[in-house]
Structure 1
Amino acid sequence: MSIEIKSQYITTPRLTHYVLESGLETGIPVIFVHGNVITSAYFKQIMLQMPSKYHCYAYDQRCYGRSSGVSIDATKGLKDFSDDLYYLMETLNIPKAHLLGWSLGGGVVMQFATEHSDRILSITLEASISPYGYYGTKDERGTLIFPDAAGSGVGPSALNLKSLFENKNIDENDPKSMVGLFRNAFCKPGNRLPEELEREYIEEIYLTKIGDDFIPGNYQACENWPGWCPGDRGLYNAISSKCYNVESIINIEIKPPIVWIRGEDDIIISDNCLLDPANLGASGKISNYPGEEVYPKQPMVRQIRSVLERYQENGGRYREFSIQNCGHSPQLEKEAEFLSIYLENLEENSSSL
């Protein structure tokens, strides 16, 4: 039986989402939540291979793809996004679902779980952000390096991304172009996708809403090294270590099983993240680096593992899968291996409907 993917616009009390659907309408609900600067289209290849007994949804989050460009209140962490997911489930009359969150989407799913774990059959974290946000922390418990979370929020890497959108550089030979970013950061260098798919995915990136209220957010200078800290608007501030912290997931009463899938060579979510201010400082790309004893690299992978281990100690279940020769996009780079792990998890955890 061939799988058909349908698309439609769904208006909730909060905004209008672009939504892809596949599988039996009476099937077990599965919701895919995408990452930063990408869209629901990145899940099409997986949706086409899902058993038809699953009713799959992939939606564009606020400010991404074809969904509404609604402002992001960074002071609430990712609550704007998790509330969007809640109201989308309400509007679509989905009582419970398997949730997969990729990168930023993993952060959204963890935020959602802290408030609505009774609506979740299972959680899959794919190359997820840390429960303590992005940059500005120094240990497994997410301790801030400075009280203002300096180095987190909208810094040079976010502003460089903004310029990529403005310049629309897609030169295949320029490593700093959007094509270069996709090939060398989204994927492990050398893990090339079919040309047609790569072109589609890069075109989808350019649907991102850019601005201080959207992506990346507003810039805030500070006195502590490296000279910036989180502002109060936009995505990069929402995932800052000042605004985003979902360590409380370890204490939720209903604990859905969690599967964590990551690429062994991911440079975006890593204990040695390429764009961590500490790495940029040590390499001279940000001046006056005070040294690792003052400003160490964020141990993102160890932070995720620490929280999941405590989740398990408190009565939950989790499993970790590290895929070799794989970067930030396991479902794209290692599709068969990813799908095998993912479907096994769904089969094991579909009995609670």
Structure 2
Amino acid sequence: MTDPVERTVRTDRLAIRTWERGDGEPILFVHGNLSSGSAWYEQLRFLSSGYRGIAPDLRGYGSTEPAPVDATRGLRDWSDDLAALLEVEDISGCHVVGHSMGGGVAMQLALDHPDRIRSLTLVSAMSPYGFGGTRPDGTPCASDYAGSGGGVANPDLVRRIDEGDRSDESEASPRRVVRDLFFPSPELVREEDALVEAMLAGRIGDDFYPGDSVESSYWPYVSPGKRGVLNAISPRYCDLSSFASQGPAVPIMWLHGAEDRIIADGSLADLGTLGQLGAVPGWPGEDEFPPQPMVSQLRAVLEAHPGPLSTVWREGVGHFPFVQEPDRFAETLARHLDDARE
């Protein structure tokens, strides 16, 4: 089994670092927040002959040229970057596999370039209404979208990423985030060092992670700015709900871990959940700021989509199904891709 190789591909937007393996029908693997293309390394090795896997580092992550993220465009900086990558690589159509935030980027790419998409695989994908501060129907809890955006990040985690912290001394240490949030329990953690290094390779600052913020008169008294990652996935700028009616009618597989602590109807990264648990003071109550039902929101949009949908729910699996259960994930993905080719 050959190993993936790293390449730098210069597009008309920026220079993109990729991990690649194979030759044949292209599959674009899109990583999530606090990660990089290297997260897909094992899955690239599992690809059967006849497929070419490409796993880029998104703008602001890994070794891709550190261009700023314009949050007012939602996920489009990333989807446009991927479209530019496909263009320079002369790829007219591909399968797309997106994880977490990368699932949202995959959906945005499909909305913007439907003719390029042969199938979609959404893994632990984010809500179509962004991350934080929305009610079940996707409407904001506050008129200024308070409770989402750059100001909701844990400042200690941000500092520790910036300082390259590889310790486990604090709950906010990147290593503890991997252990406590990426997997259901310590004994199920895999590839810990690789996931920590990918997190530490991300860019920090107002133009990157987490982004800038604005004071708010609504709890938790901070609302989105216009720059950086967490503002780009704020519901102020991110709305993929049109995918239900405008997404390409290609085969979609939605795979989700039942023990996901990050993308969930009670996400431990959502201030509505944390306020309800008493971890963030001053929570105004469920009527004013409920936990965001991220999984339910995505389910409603995908089930309204006109194309074929298969839902795979993994019991005992957390936020990184393809890392926690690499063999099983690879087999499931291979079946989906083979079905999509028929």
1:323 aligned to which of 296, 301, 314: 314
Deviation string for 1:11-60 (max 9, x for gaps)? Answer: 00000011111112xx1111100011111111111111110210111111
Q: Under a length normalisation based on structure 2, what TM-score does the superposition of the two structures give?
A: 0.96
Contact kept, 8 Å, 1:99 with 1:124, in 2: the verdict is yes
CA displacement at 1:191 relative to structure 2? 4.3
1:133 match: 130
2:203 aligned to which of 201, 204, 209: 209
2:13 match: 14
In structure 1, how many angstroms separate the alpha carbons of the residues matched to 2:327 and 2:106?
24
Structure 1 residues 56, 265: CA separation in 2 closer, same or farther (over 3 Å shift)? same
- The answer to whether 1:157 aligns with 2:153 is yes
Structure 1 residues 79, 286: CA separation in 2 closer, same or farther (over 3 Å shift)? same
1:188 match: 184
CA displacement at 1:121 relative to structure 2? 0.7
- The answer to whether 1:3 aligns with 2:2 is yes
CA displacement at 1:160 relative to structure 2? 3.4
Unaligned runs of 5+ in 2: none
Structure 1 residues 191, 78: CA separation in 2 closer, same or farther (over 3 Å shift)? farther
Structure 1 residues 287, 72: CA separation in 2 closer, same or farther (over 3 Å shift)? same
1:179 match: 175
In structure 2, how many angstroms separate the alpha carbons of the residues matched to 1:142 and 1:204?
31
Contact kept, 8 Å, 1:117 with 1:256, in 2: the verdict is no
In structure 2, how many angstroms separate the alpha carbons of the residues matched to 1:157 and 1:234?
12
- The answer to whether 1:257 aligns with 2:251 is yes
* Mapping 1:165-314, distance limit 5 Å: 165-172=161-168, 174-194=170-190, 197-252=191-246, 254-311=248-305
- The answer to whether 1:80 aligns with 2:77 is yes
Deviation string for 1:267-320 (max 9, x for gaps)? Answer: 100000112212222333322211112111100000000001111xxx311111
In structure 1, how many angstroms separate the alpha carbons of the residues matched to 2:187 and 2:213?
34
Q: Under a length normalisation based on structure 1, what TM-score does the superposition of the two structures give?
A: 0.93
In structure 2, how many angstroms separate the alpha carbons of the residues matched to 1:191 and 1:346?
31
CA displacement at 1:331 relative to structure 2? 0.1
| 1:35 aligned counterpart, secondary structure | coil
Runs of 4+ in 1 over 6 A off after TM superposition: none
CA displacement at 1:169 relative to structure 2? 3.0
1:112 match: 109
| 2:40 aligned counterpart, secondary structure | helix
Contact kept, 8 Å, 1:28 with 1:350, in 2: the verdict is no
Unaligned runs of 5+ in 1: none
Contact kept, 8 Å, 1:4 with 1:23, in 2: the verdict is no
Contact kept, 8 Å, 2:111 with 2:248, in 1: the verdict is no
CA RMSD of aligned residues (A): 1.5
| 2:110 aligned counterpart, secondary structure | helix
Deviation string for 1:134-184 (max 9, x for gaps)? Answer: 011011x31111121110112343433312213433223543321111111
| 1:204 aligned counterpart, secondary structure | helix
Percent sequence identity is 35
Contact kept, 8 Å, 2:110 with 2:247, in 1: the verdict is no
In structure 1, how many angstroms separate the alpha carbons of the residues matched to 2:60 and 2:163?
19
Query: Aligned partner of 2:155: which letter?
Result: L
Structure 1 residues 202, 282: CA separation in 2 closer, same or farther (over 3 Å shift)? same
Structure 1 residues 253, 66: CA separation in 2 closer, same or farther (over 3 Å shift)? closer
Structure 1 residues 82, 302: CA separation in 2 closer, same or farther (over 3 Å shift)? same
CA displacement at 1:229 relative to structure 2? 0.9
Q: How many equivalent pairs are there? A: 342
CA displacement at 1:3 relative to structure 2? 2.5
- The answer to whether 1:122 aligns with 2:119 is yes
